[in-house]
Amino acid sequence: MESAFEIVAEPNRRAILSLLASSERSVGEIERRLRMTQPSVSKHLRVLREAGFVESAVDAQRRLYRLKPERLEELDAWLSQFRRFWSEQVDALERHLDRMDRRTQSKEKTRRKK
Amino acid sequence: MESAFEIVAEPNRRAILSLLASSERSVGEIERRLRMTQPSVSKHLRVLREAGFVESAVDAQRRLYRLKPERLEELDAWLSQFRRFWSEQVDALERHLDRMDRRTQSKEKTRRKK
DNA sequence: TCATAATATTCCTTGACACGTATATACGTC
DNA sequence: GACGTATATACGTGTCAAGGAATATTATGA
């Protein structure tokens, strides 16, 4: 279980990572938000920590876990070889629209993605 | 084994997908290029096909496998929630440099990534 | 020091899946 | 129609990781 892919293959771990994307959390918070048992949360956090996806800080009895993005970036890097398949046509258009968006953010032109 | 993540968790399958990123291939080509046994290739291709990552076309006795990018796009979509973590600062700069690059491609300014 | 809260760890069981070997199926050629 | 090539499938086996229950550890506060 070394590769970043195997780590994120587990649904509960993906849920934890998504949760930590918004802000750092204690084990108990994760437990309640994701409706997982405490040992399960701790075990998954251990895997994530040892794999370098998260890091923890001691806060009294609690431990606060926060995201470390490097390993996720690996996934992104691997995916980059395929990105042309879906961004080929869209690419130029997207960039253009994004730029328009930034320039007209006040006008609320209601361009919603997908 | 339904999620796209579980599918790409397997190293040999990732290798196959990477290989198919360059061009479509027959089973035998994959077998030789990746030094895998033929049954292993066939089994992984079956998994990839049933999961929608590849599709096959009959060519005499051969079957040519080619990439179907939709499922990979799922991974990209999931990753998007984290992308800000590593592209926040770099983002604007990257775009800028990329544009510069395109405009000065003849001059070879030697900007290497990382 | 005792009680309680928060988190980590251990043990056990179970299921999934990747592999190898062997065999089956399909196609093309003589 | 027999043979060779290309690919698919079946079967048996070993490994490994996830889950549950119980217990251990660490910190806090009275």
Query: In which residue ranges of chain A is pLDDT below 50?
Result: 108-114
Burial label for B21, CB within 10 Å (0-12, 13-18, 19+), is: middle
Q: A22-27: long-range contacts at Cβ-Cβ below 8 A with a sequence spacing of 24 or more?
A: A24/A57, A24/A64, A24/A65, A24/A66, A24/A67, A25/A64, A25/A65, A26/A59, A26/A62, A26/A63, A26/A64, A26/A65, A27/A62, A27/A63, A27/A65
B27-58: pLDDT as tens digits:
999 999 999 999 999 999 999 999 999 999 99
Please state, for a pLDDT cut of 70, what percent of chain B lies above it: 76
Beta bridge partners of A64: A26, A57
pLDDT reading at B25 higher than 80: yes
pLDDT reading at B107 higher than 60: no
pTM of the model: 0.82
Average pLDDT of the residues in B18-31: 98
CA of A25 to C1' of D7 (A): 51
B85-105: pLDDT as tens digits:
988 766 666 666 666 666 665
Nearest CA in chain B to A85: B69
Identify which of A3, A72, A86 has the shortest CB distance to residue B82.
Answer: A72
Say if B88 is an interface residue toward chain A (CB within 8 Å).
Answer: no
Q: Is B78 helix (H, G, I), strand (E, B) or coil?
A: helix
Instruction: Give the closest-approach CA distance of B77 to chain A in angstroms.
Output: 10
Average pLDDT of the residues in B57-81: 96
Amino acid B1: pLDDT:
83
Average pLDDT of the residues in B79-87: 92
Query: Rounded to 5 degrees, what angle do the CA atoms A78, B53, B62 make?
Result: 115
Task: Name residue, tokens 């409706």.
Answer: A35
Amino acid A83: pLDDT:
94
